[in-house]
Amino acid sequence: MSSIQISALIKTYGSVRALDGLDLQVQAGSIFGFLGPNGSGKTTTLRILTGLAHATSGQALVAGVNLRQDGRKLSRQVGYLPEEPAFYPWLTPLEFLDYLGRLYGLELKIRSARARELLQLVKLSDSGRRRIGGFSRGMRQRLGIAAALVNEPQVLLLDEPASALDPSGRKEVLDLIGSLRGRCTVLMSTHILSDVERVCDTVGIIARGRLVVQSERQALLNRYALPAFELETNQVEALQLWAGQIGHEPWVKKCEVNGETARILVTDVERAKQALLPSALQAGLLLRRFEELRPSLEEIFLGLVGEETK
């Protein structure tokens, strides 16, 4: 069952087409990684799904709500964390969440219980009576997720939730997002590929307002990721010469040299294991490192987006 269904969605701003017939489905209870380069249409899509913007044409359903017909019902079904959430810095988290609960029409007992529950969920219980103005960026992001969950939404939309955080803050936020799996449907817009690999079940890649590919994360890696090997030596000229020769082998998809490192993408792992190292040694290379690498979502992303751009 899909919690989000987008069909032929188009959004234009004057002569600029931000979305160009976008089709997308997000399964209920999943954590969906919505990937794309800057300017690809991710934020525009989220703004339409939250009702903050209207599509030029096409259809979008969120938690069963048709945005063209029943947009007013959306607020009860959706939670939203913008890329830069805003707070009243003089309020405490308890006061802020209580204020949001009143906006949703919750009774006092329910508001109080909900605020305490959410602060525990985002690990801010000990800071419930501190002024928000003194919070770190990571604490504000976690509070923003708590705020987006006040109305117990079926769908949670997160716009670049960890992009501006340090490694510690990113881990806290990603762990929190992972804990929501099965509690609600999460669509997480981001351009940080490692975040998607860490926490998302399904991946959708968008470029120029169109969906390039949508797949379960592991299926995407299995289908598109090419095995890679890296060789490292301080013999740069000899390495470049060898790379030019090995790149003509039929089982080599791509061979690039960056400084003292050669990276080889291959279509036949066993053939590469048998041939690469003997070939490099025969060429007189004294290797500091020879390594088989795990297929990367980053390589898939750059390859697919590059093809779409062409």
**157 and 64 within one domain:** yes
**161 and 65 within one domain:** yes
CA distance to 34, 133, 308, per residue, from 56 (Å): 21, 39, 23
Q: What is the DSSP letter of 184?
A: B
- Give SS3 for 286: coil
What pTM, to 2 d.p., does this model score?
Answer: 0.79
Q: So what's the pLDDT on residue 298?
A: 72
Q: So what's the pLDDT on residue 258?
A: 92
Residue whose structure tokens are 């040299």? 257
CATH of the domain at 36: 3.40.50.300
**173 and 55 within one domain:** yes
Residue 270's CB: how many other CB atoms inside 10 A? Answer: 9
* Residue 6, φ and ψ in degrees, nearest 5: -120, 130
**141 and 240 within one domain:** no
Q: What is the DSSP letter of 295?
A: P
**116 and 141 within one domain:** yes
**87 and 58 within one domain:** no
127 vs 145: CA distance, rounded Å: 15
**CA torsion, points 136, 191, 178, 158, in degrees to nearest 10?**
70
Q: How confident is the model at residue 295 (pLDDT cuts 50, 70, 90)?
A: low
More confident residue, 83 or 9: 9
More confident residue, 310 or 160: 160
pLDDT tens for 38-63 read: 888 999 999 999 988 899 999 999 98
Calculate mean pLDDT across residues 82-101: 93
Is pLDDT at 32 greater than 90 in this prediction?
yes
Q: Which residues pair with 261 in a beta bridge?
A: 232, 258
Tell me if 300 is assigned to some domain: no
More confident residue, 1 or 22: 22
Residue 7's CB: how many other CB atoms inside 10 A? Answer: 13
Tell me if 301 is assigned to some domain: no
* Degrees, nearest 5: CA angle 162-164-166: 85
Calculate mean pLDDT across residues 109-131: 93
Tell me if 302 is assigned to some domain: no
Q: So what's the pLDDT on residue 83?
A: 86
Q: So what's the pLDDT on residue 226?
A: 75
Q: How confident is the model at residue 170 (pLDDT cuts 50, 70, 90)?
A: confident
Tell me if 299 is assigned to some domain: no
102 vs 41: CA distance, rounded Å: 33
224 vs 215: CA distance, rounded Å: 11
Structure tokens at 194: 């490692």
User: Total structural domains in the chain?
Assistant: 3
Is pLDDT at 221 greater than 80 in this prediction?
no
**159 and 11 within one domain:** yes
Q: Which domain holds residue 7?
A: 1-77+153-214
Calculate mean pLDDT across residues 180-184: 90
% of residues, the chain, pLDDT over 70: 97
Contacts for 72 with CB less than 8 Å, ≥ 6 apart: none
Tell me if 167 is assigned to some domain: yes
Is pLDDT at 308 greater than 60 in this prediction?
no
Last residue of a domain, one of 97, 123, 151: 151
